[in-house]
């Protein structure tokens, strides 16, 4: 582990190793916070000073250069004095949300539309609050109502009654009428199972994030099959 001296006065002792400093920078990058901009600006302005205090100056410079490249890929650039966010990029979650909302917005008569939207909105809120089990529950409901809405629409078009609104029977119906393949239905079942796994008190942040991405993209995919 490389150690270096000469950090700015406001930095705590645990910043004094590159490994811990990089952890702070990575966390700040994920949060897109002001801390990231300030820390990177200081490091890049005073890189010679910091590298001179490191046990392995070359390795320190290489690590800092790689971090600068990584930040550049996310839109940050160093203008010689400070880090600036030159081209904010939407996250994958934002892109997925936008795609799903566009799909829902183009189907104003989609059955259960408001239920799908409400549960997704509640899932986002629960996720931001750290209430991961309830987030997963809302996600599971949004997927259920998306597939049920598709099944209701298809059954109406066919002039028949939907046999059941039970989640697994809805999938069976959609497979039977040819909307989804057997493999697609297996995939939906797997996502539903994932969203159920932590919905009763065992959900954590990683599972909720995975579940959110999987649910939104699955709902978007399923709606696309109606086109």
Span 191-219, pLDDT tens digits: 999 998 876 666 688 888 889 999 999 99
- Please report the pLDDT score of residue 200 as a whole number: 64
Question: Domain-by-domain residue ranges, the chain?
Answer: 13-85, 92-224
The answer to whether the predicted template modeling score (pTM) of the entire model surpasses 0.75 is: no
CATH class label, 92-224: mainly alpha
Which ranges of the chain have pLDDT less than 70?
1-34, 36, 74, 85-93, 199-203
Instruction: Give φ, ψ of 194 to 5 degrees.
Output: -60, -45
- Please report the pLDDT score of residue 7 as a whole number: 35
Any idea what the Cα angle at residue 211 is, between residues 179 and 205, rounded to 5°? 175
- Please report the pLDDT score of residue 21 as a whole number: 63
């Amino acid at each position: 582990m490389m150690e270096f001296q000469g950090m700015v006065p406001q930095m705590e002792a645990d910043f004094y190793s590159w490994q811990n400093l990089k952890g702070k920078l990575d966390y700040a990058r994920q949060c897109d916070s002001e801390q990231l901009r300030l820390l990177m600006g200081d490091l890049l302005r005073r890189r010679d000073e910091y590298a001179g205090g490191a046990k392995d100056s070359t390795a320190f410079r290489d690590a800092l250069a790689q971090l600068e490249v990584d930040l550049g890929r996310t839109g940050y650039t160093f203008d010689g004095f400070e880090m600036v966010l030159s081209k904010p990029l939407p996250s994958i979650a934002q892109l997925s949300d936008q795609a799903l909302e566009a799909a829902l917005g183009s189907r104003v008569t989609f059955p259960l539309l408001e239920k799908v939207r409400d549960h997704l909105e509640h899932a986002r809120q629960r996720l931001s609050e750290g209430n991961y089990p309830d987030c997963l529950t809302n996600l599971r409901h949004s997927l259920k109502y998306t597939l049920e809405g598709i099944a209701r629409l298809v059954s109406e078009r066919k002039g028949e009654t939907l046999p059941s609104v039970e989640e697994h029977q809805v999938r069976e119906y959609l497979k039977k009428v040819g909307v989804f393949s057997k493999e697609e239905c297996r995939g939906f079942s797997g996502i539903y199972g994932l969203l159920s796994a932590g919905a009763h008190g065992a959900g954590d942040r990683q599972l909720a994030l995975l579940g959110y991405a999987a649910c939104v993209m699955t709902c978007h995919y399923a709606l696309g099959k109606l086109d």
